[in-house]
Amino acid sequence: MIRQLLSLSLILVLTCCGCFGGAPADAPETAPVKGKVTRKGAPLVGVSVSFQPLDAPEGKSNPSNGFTDEQGNYEMILNRSTMGVVPGRHRVRLTAQDGVDDEDESKKAPDEVVIPIEVGTLEVTVPPEGLDGGDANFDLDF
């Protein structure tokens, strides 16, 4: 009897393990992207960073998003269970979040950081191995 209960418990646990967590089977391949957003060298806090694929088939755009921290660093997330971005060409948009409250003006993300479109909309190509700094760092000069 105990052996049957143990077997039944094991089957139940293994069945439930397949029901939770992890990326869906049809999730796209992603590449890690980390970077920093600054304005004239000073970190911008609370800036939304969005990578929108330019070459994706219609209805399969899979945008990735991230937010800058206290040092202006961000890391892109595709969805709750998947980090990174789909490799390829992307339109990158940087926008300030409402309600950013910081005494240090150099770190404040002012509403003007909904920046002039030519400054806040960029194009970046993400290789399959991803980006860590370099092309993923954005220093705004306006």
29-140 CATH pick, 2.60.40.10, 3.40.50.1000, 2.40.240.10, 1.10.287.70: 2.60.40.10
> How far is Cα 140 from Cα 30, in angstroms, rounded to an integer?
27
* Domains of the chain by residue range: 29-140
- The CA-atom distances, in angstroms, between 81 and each of 34, 78, 84, 105, 130 are 17, 8, 10, 35, 18
pLDDT string in tens for the chain (142-residue length): 555 544 555 565 555 555 555 555 666 789 999 999 998 889 988 888 999 999 877 777 789 999 999 999 999 999 988 999 999 999 998 887 654 444 555 554 444 444 555 556 788 888 888 887 677 888 776 6
Does this model's pTM top 0.75? My answer is no
